[in-house]
Each structure stands twice: as structure tokens, then as C-alpha cells.
Amino acid sequence: MSRILAISGSIRTESFNTAVLNALAPFAPEGMSIEVFKGIDELPHFNQDLEGDVPASVIRLREAVQAADGVVISTPEYNRAIPGVLKNALDWASRPYGQSSWQGKPVAVLSSSPGVQGGIRAQEELKGQLRNLAAYVVSGPEIAIPEVHTRVSVDAQAVATLNDPATAGMVKYLLEALQLAVDANTGANHVKALNAWAASLAG
């Protein structure tokens, strides 16, 4: 059983990105469980002064990332970038220095937007941020869902469904790629390679 933590870059109550994450379970490989994290809106703005007495919301986020075998993040695009609330979550989970929860963590990334480009610029920025944090960004279909309001629906019981077969197919392959990365311990090997490179620079 692999435990996957899903994080939405949007905190809006009727967020399309959160709906997409809630609709992933039917496409997950056998044995994969997906839990959508709730609470990035509870994180204070990152401030190193708070690290002496770390807020409970930050501890909860860090522990959730650390306990997960992998992470999937879906982000909207705000002004051609990732939302500030998502960047704040990345920063908090990267601390304290040298103890980043992201290091070696396999992460699958997708984006969605009501617009025609599907948030692709935010997705690319997010992947770059994760690589800077030494996370292992999973290769697979590049899923930027355009006109997402036509491709995902939420019923009266709050059950989310992906309506577009092409999107559903890409999601299935991306989650399978994430599972392969978890099974092969690719993230840990990725960190070993980075550490070897850093050691070579130190002489």
C-alpha cells in the first residue's frame, strides 16, 4: 500500500484543482491511497522568527509530507505564477535548513484552469520550485487541464468526477508513474546523486 498526499494550490471552497484531486482515486493503481490535505490556508506567512516555536499547522503539514510515500500537487495559475499560499506551503515544508520534507520525495504535478492554457505556466514554475527543493519530480503526461469547469463535476454529495476521457487517461498514466517512482525508491537515489555531486564540489 502506498500513501499519497494530495495538495491543492487553491483554497477556494469550490476549487477546481481540489475537485480534480478528489476525482483521482478511481484512476490510482491498485494499492495506492490518496488523501487530500486540508489546511494550507491555516499556515502563517513564512517567518524564520517563528521557527523557535513552530506553529501546529506547520508541524501538521511537515509530518503529512514526511509520512507520505509520494505527493501529487494540482495548482491553478494566478498572474502567470503559482498561488502565494502554495509557495508558502512549499517554503514551510522545506524548513528547517537541512531537514526539508521535500528532499527525495516523489511528486507528481498537474494544473487546471478555466482558461484555454490549463495553468501550464504555473505548472512549470511549480516543477522548478520542487526541483530546487531536491524533490523528485515524476515524469509522465504533462497534464494542464484547460476549461476545467467542463471536465470535472461535483455532485450534491460532493463526489468529484473527471468527465473527459482523455484527461482521465493521462491521470491514470501519471499516477502509475508516481507509483513506479515510489516502488523503485527513485527519490532516495536522486538525493544520493545530488549529495555525491555536492561532496565533489567540497573537494
* CA distances, 136 to each of 20, 33, 118, 188 (Å): 22, 19, 23, 9
Secondary structure of 93-118 as H, E, C letters:
HCCCCCCCCCCCCEEEEEEECCCCCC
- Integer Cα distance of 27 and 73 in angstroms: 16
Domains of the chain, each with CATH number or no CATH: 2-202 (3.40.50.360)
> Is residue 174 very low, low, confident or very high in pLDDT (cuts 50, 70, 90)?
very high
Q: What is the pTM of this model?
A: 0.93
Q: What is the pLDDT of residues 83-104, one digit of tens each?
A: 999 999 999 999 999 899 999 9
pLDDT single digits (tens) 139-161: 989 999 999 999 999 998 889 99
| Residue labelled with grid coordinates 460532493 | 158
Average confidence (pLDDT) over 8-27: 96
